[in-house]
Amino acid sequence: MSLLFSFGAVLVDKSNADYQYLILVIVFLMIGVVTNGISVLFSGLGFSIKPYRYPLPYHAFFTEEGMFNEEAIKQYSEGMGKDKPESEKIFKESIVENYLRCNKQNEIQNKNKAIKIKIAQ
- Domain assignment present for 89: yes
Whether 85 and 111 share a structural domain = yes
Find the mean pLDDT for residues 45-57: 71
Closest CA to 99 of 57, 58, 60: 57
Whether 42 and 90 share a structural domain = no
Query: Which domain covers residue 6, as residue numbers?
Result: 2-46
pLDDT for position 7: 66
- Domain assignment present for 86: yes
pLDDT at position 38 over 80: yes
Query: pTM of the full predicted structure?
Result: 0.46
Query: CA 45, CA 103: separation in Å to the nearest integer?
Result: 21
- pLDDT class of 5 with cuts at 50, 70, 90: low
